[in-house]
Amino acid sequence: MIRKYDFDEVIDRRGSGCIKYDAIKKKDVIPMWIADMDFATPDFVLDAMRKRMDNPVFGYAKIPDNYYSTIAGWVEGLHGWKVDEEWMCYIPGIVKGIGFALCAMLQKGDKVIIQPPVYPPFRNVPLGNGMKLLENPLLPQYDGNGALKGYEMDLDGLQKCVDKGAKILVMSNPHNPAGICWSRETLEKVAEITSKAGVIVISDEIHAEMALKGHKHIPYASVSKAAAKNSITFMAPSKTFNIAGIVSSYAIVPNPVLRKKFFGFIEANEIDFPSIFSIEATMAAYRKGASWRRQMLAYVEGNIDFLEKYLKENIPQVRIVRPQASFLVWVDLRALALPQDKLMALLENKARLVLSDGTIFGKEGTGFVRLNVGCPRCILEQALGRLAAIAGKSPLK
């Protein structure tokens, strides 16, 4: 019999030391910003950690012999990508992993390509490490009614950035904030363009396990030999199983030359040591989490359906790009024609919703916000009610 998990349960996270709630000074707001979910981490993950706590000694951890084979089995089962255990290495977070990779392989002043609107650390990490950015903005795609339906990569623009001497492309696959599962065709073209010039692709695949109905995540390194040869892939159970605070992620690097450079840096600095709880949580999630993951995704999909229907019926001037993966929704508020600061103030002070300001993803995010729907439906409903309520008193009407 398949066990049913409950995603409707409202858990009070305030005072738990979580950034999503406890970093917000205002009390009466609904936080729907940073990318973790309000669902309980599954009990089989908690049980594994509790069991380990029965032994009261918390000295250094040893990675179990079946750690990487468990991860490899999960990756192959989910994405059909066969990875060798030798290609993998623990990383204490993907943003850190990107930083380590840049530091291990580039010099100050080297050029890094990003494709905004995109997850803010893609900009901040290269700049913070003294590298230069080449920006290749995504191309917005509109439907027949003039509504934004998604983005394509600008492959000509990518070629131009490569011609300008870029060393690395940092790519979000699936894409945050627009939730795009990049197509095989696009990824093959990226591999063609970058590999000819020896540009390495860092493929951040943290949302890979969360492809929604009708969509499939394609690991970048799996699309061609060239892609495998010139890439570093980052994956994690952290978004899927809501364990970002436990810090568990891993790099996959098929090319031994790249591995020597990157893993050499990681090993020299002893970055490849997971904490005891990171090991326990990852193993439990990947061994026992298939059904929980499916049910969680169905619930998130239900939230997106609810959101889309609610907006259409009640606030049609607010539009969304329907995500193909994960629980983050790119919301287009450009119809309101408000300056970004006024828009954010209206949402926070009048609607009492804390959302991610679209401009943190790049200037291409002007007029947008990112909404996190990884929450019980009743909270989403409450938030949408607040949004609709200000519609009468504000330019939202």
Q: Minimum CB separation from ligand PLP for residue 4, in Å?
A: 28
Site membership for ligand PLP, residue 93 (CB under 6 A): yes
Residues of this chain, 4-63, that bind ligand PLP according to CB under 6 A: 35
Applying CB under 6 A, which of residues 115, 136, 176, 230 lies at the interface with ligand PLP? 176
Counting contacts by CB under 6 A, is residue 95 touching ligand PLP? Answer: yes
Report how far residue 79's alpha carbon sits from residue 218's, in angstroms, rounded to the nearest whole number: 7
Is the alpha carbon torsion for 142, 146, 148, 149 positive or negative? negative
What is the CA angle 66-67-69, rounded to 5?
Answer: 65
CB 275 within 8 A of CB 247: yes
Binding segment toward ligand PLP, per CB under 6 A, in 55-63, 92-100, 250-258, 336-344: 92-100
Exposed / middle / buried, residue 352 (Cβ in 10 Å: 0-12, 13-18, 19+): middle
By CB under 6 A, residue 236 contacts ligand PLP: yes
Helices (H), the chain: 19-22, 43-53, 67-79, 94-105, 121-128, 155-163, 184-196, 225-229, 256-268, 276-288, 290-314, 340-345, 377-391
Classified as helix, coil or strand, 208 is: helix
DSSP classification of residue 92 = S
Of the candidate residues 100, 119, 262, 361, the single one contacting ligand PLP (CB under 6 A): 119
Q: And the tokens for 269?
A: 């600095």
Nearer to ligand PLP, 226 or 329 (CB): 329
| Closer CB to ligand PLP, 206 or 279, in the complex | 206
Query: Is 329 among the residues that bind ligand PLP (CB under 6 A)?
Result: no
Of the pair 67, 361, the CB lying nearest ligand PLP is at: 361
DSSP state of 87: G
Q: Are 89 and 266 in contact (CB under 8 A)?
A: yes
Nearer to ligand PLP, 237 or 376 (CB): 237
For ligand PLP, the closer of residues 303 and 311 by Cβ is 303
CA dist 83 and 13 (Å) reads 37
Please state the closest distance from residue 188 (CB atom) to ligand PLP, in A.
21
The least distance separating ligand PLP from the CB of residue 205, rounded to whole angstroms, comes to 8
Site string for ligand PLP, 336-375 (x = CB under 6 A): ----------------------------------------
Options 90-98, 104-112, 312-320, 377-385: segment touching ligand PLP (CB under 6 A) = 90-98
Query: Per CB under 6 A, does 249 bind ligand PLP?
Result: yes
CB 184 within 8 A of CB 272: no
Nearer Cβ to ligand PLP, position 98 or 162? 98
Minimum Å distance from CB 328 to ligand PLP?
7
Please tell me whether residue 252 binds ligand PLP under the rule CB under 6 A. no
Q: Kindly state whether residue 172 participates in binding ligand PLP, applying the rule CB under 6 A.
A: yes
The strand pairing partners of 73, in sequence order, are: none
204 lies in the site for ligand PLP, by CB under 6 A: yes
Give the dihedral sign, CA 235/90/199/107: positive
User: Whole-number minimum distance, CB 1 to ligand PLP, in Å?
Assistant: 35
Instruction: Please give the Cα distance from 396 to 273 (Å, whole number).
Output: 50
State yes or no: residue 89 binds ligand PLP (CB under 6 A): no
Residues that bind ligand PLP (CB under 6 A): 35, 93-95, 119, 172, 176, 204, 206, 236, 238, 244, 249
